[in-house]
Amino acid sequence: MKHRKLQWLCLSAALMLGACSSGTAAASTAASATAMTYQPGTYTASASGMWGPVEVTTTFDESAITDIELQADLETPGLRDWPVRIIPEEILQYQSLDVDTVTFATFTSNAIINGVADCVEQAGGDPEALKAVAVPAEETQSEYTADVVIVGGGGAGLAAATAAMQAGSSVVLVEKAGFLGGNTMMAGSIYNCADPEMQQKYEMTEGAKSQIEEALAETPVDDLHAEVQALVQEQYDAYLASEETYLFDSPEWHALQTWNGGDKIADLNLDLVLARNALDGKEWLQSMGWELQDKIGQGAGSLYQRTHYEVLPNMTGMIYAFEDQVMNSDLVTIVMETPVSEILMDGDRAVGAVGTAKDGTTVTFHANKAVIITTGGFAGNVEMRQKYCEGEKWPDLGPSLNTTNMPADQGDGIVMAEAVGANLVDMEQIQLLHTTNPVTGTTGDACMPLSTGGAIFVNQDGNRFWREDGRRDDLSKAAMVQNEDAIFWVVESSEAIPDPTTTKTTDGRTVQYMLDNNLSDYVTGDTIEELAANMGVDAENLRVAIEDYNAHVDSQEPDAFGRTLFTTKLATAPYYAFTRAPSAHHTMGGININENAQVLDTDGNVIPGLYAAGEVTGGIHGGNRLGGNATVDVVVFGRIAGTNAAAEE
């Protein structure tokens, strides 16, 4: 890549909101810059990014660009930080528009470059001449050596790097994109764990009791199932005997719900590890500065009120906390824009990896202790999802189906692991997420501040069609079968959105902004009839759906669809609605690991020196991943992998 040295700059609150000011004068090191004359002053331009305009303000003196400020708050949170941080610095340093785009952040990168070019022209300069000013190429290093080599810089890779570094091991973290965070930055800012302190603040509902009692009444399918049921029964009996009224929860109940919710396909041992380490993982992150809202709820598809919500959008707060650790540590080297294609073996032991730099140079990574694969899933790889996952449940997973995934998530790690003898499990299991944009497949423009507790889903006739607190796969399938083009409406009221100018979508835009700009079919109405007219649905059907829902909030009895979570009425105008449709979201199959995050071969034996964590693994989520469990997965098993890899001889 062109002279791009990775360095960490502290993220200010302004940058997190999309504003950036370089605050540096033009560098005198740009000896190769073409002589240019400008009309001194400050100029502003707007250029199209991925999701909207990027505003670029550029300041000039007589001969140089001296400052660049950006407003890019409509671009993807977290991902946008990298081009916002890197590209203005390089333009200023080299007085050139020939800077590289950030890999997999091309739209935002080009918007910045194009915006500066517009400002150059406004100032009387020649943008084409600046595009001809060569930026010196950085010499690519062809070999790296560290105790631990981590392939993939998403949430699991960053968790593993942090844990290994904290254990005193040197780390090389290799990422094929031009930014860190991976698909974790597309998550819905939710994290599940039983939390005794937070549970005290919430009342136990009859619906929650019925969930527990139904699960405990099931006939166990094996000894471990019976053992976990017995543990939960003992905990629940003690809770009932206490006559307390706060919300009951425990790690074992979380694990049992995770396993049951995945159709009992997963490894219950792994689910117990996940759930029993979830609270500690949350507190570990909080000790690094991760901020959570002071509440828990029932995230979409999570099945229970144990979901914690990040303060920042799209799990960027988690990524920032990890980045702050690894990018300020002398023990961690980060190599960007270098896809890895091979795990190096010495006999039966993993000893490194091989990748290719942006300039085509082969780069070899030597691991003194261990290699960790954290490259994510394959929901964005149409060929793989059709090969492994199409069938009776999902007959068409072809290119017409959107995905929530980052384009970098192509199943690379699964292919590499299989090539060195790793066993793959649950590869046929894929999850579609119902709460995505019908056009783009993204989740960032959804507004569900009370999640399923204060919303209903209705079809294009204005009728409810499934239980909103149900499983994601069931909701997605119902949407695809019962609704034209699989599109449905999420309906909320002012109980959920008390002020549209301050209530935000998951990517940080306000509801009012969505309404004003006619985005994602956001509509509002001062009456149910007005809302129905703006949605284009039958007003009487919508009125009946809302009244029936409100009646069940009062009664707390399960409704005709089997919904048990009723927390907030839809009773106060104005009302709001926006459209959703399913997209390919999470692949539950992947590399077979044990409780120590060690990779297993096809005979069930550990492959020495090889670990894996995150969505690249299988055996944890079974046939259906509970909403909010993916972030727990990357934290818990990423941490376990990093800690154990650092402890290798």
Structural domains of the chain ordered from first start: 13-131 (3.90.1010), 183-325+374-429+588-646 (3.50.50.60), 435-583 (3.90.700.10)
Both tokens of 540, joined, read 């009487």
Catalytic residue among 472, 509, 580, 639: 472
Label the pairing between strands 190-192 and 590-592.
unpaired
Q: Identify which of 247, 211, 253, 112 has the alpha carbon closest to the alpha carbon of residue 563.
A: 211
Residues of the chain with pLDDT under 70: 1-34, 448-452
> Coil, strand, or helix at residue 354?
strand
Cα-Cα-Cα-Cα torsion 206, 209, 213, 216, nearest 10 degrees, comes to 160
3-state helix, strand, coil in the chain (%, to 5): 35, 20, 45
Residue whose pair of structure tokens reads 């502290």 in the numeric block:
10
Residue 531 to residue 533: CA distance in whole angstroms: 5
Q: How far is 101 from 107, CA to CA, in rounded Å? A: 9
For residue 397, what pLDDT is reported?
Answer: 93
Residue whose pair of structure tokens reads 């800077």 in the numeric block: 99
- Which residues on adjacent β-strands are paired with residue 591? 424, 617
Closest CA to 175 of 338, 362, 309: 338
pLDDT at 5: 41
Residue type present at position 336: M
Backbone torsions φ then ψ of 155, nearest 5 degrees: -60, -45
The tokens 């970098």 sit on which residue?
A: 408
Separation of alpha carbons 512 and 495, rounded Å = 16
348-392 tens-digit pLDDT:
999 999 999 999 999 999 999 999 999 999 999 999 999 999 999
- Return the pLDDT at 26: 41
| Cβ(20)–Cβ(86) below 8 Å | no
pLDDT at 49: 87
- Distance in Å from the first CA to the final CA of the chain: 35
pLDDT of 273 reads 98
What does pTM read for this prediction? 0.85
Residues recorded for the chain = 649
* Nearest-angstrom CA–CA distance, 638 and 154: 10
The reported pLDDT for the residue numbered 471 is 85
pLDDT number for residue 639: 98
Q: Do the bridges between strand 590-592 and strand 617-618 make them parallel or antiparallel, or are there none, so unpaired? A: parallel
Asked whether the bond before 574 is cis by omega within 30 degrees of 0, the reply is yes
Quote the pLDDT of residue 451: 58
pLDDT of 507 reads: 75
**Phi and psi at residue 41, in whole multiples of 5°?**
150, -175
Task: Tell me which residue has tokens 């818990």.
Answer: 636
User: Cα(342)–Cα(346) distance, rounded to whole angstroms?
Assistant: 13
Residue 235 to residue 230: CA distance in whole angstroms: 9
DSSP state for residue 596 in the 8-state scheme: T
- Closest Cα partner for 474 from 255, 306, 263? 263
d(CA 568, CA 584): 30
* Of 455, 444, 517, the residue nearest 488 (C-alpha): 455
- The answer to whether 276 is a known catalytic residue is no
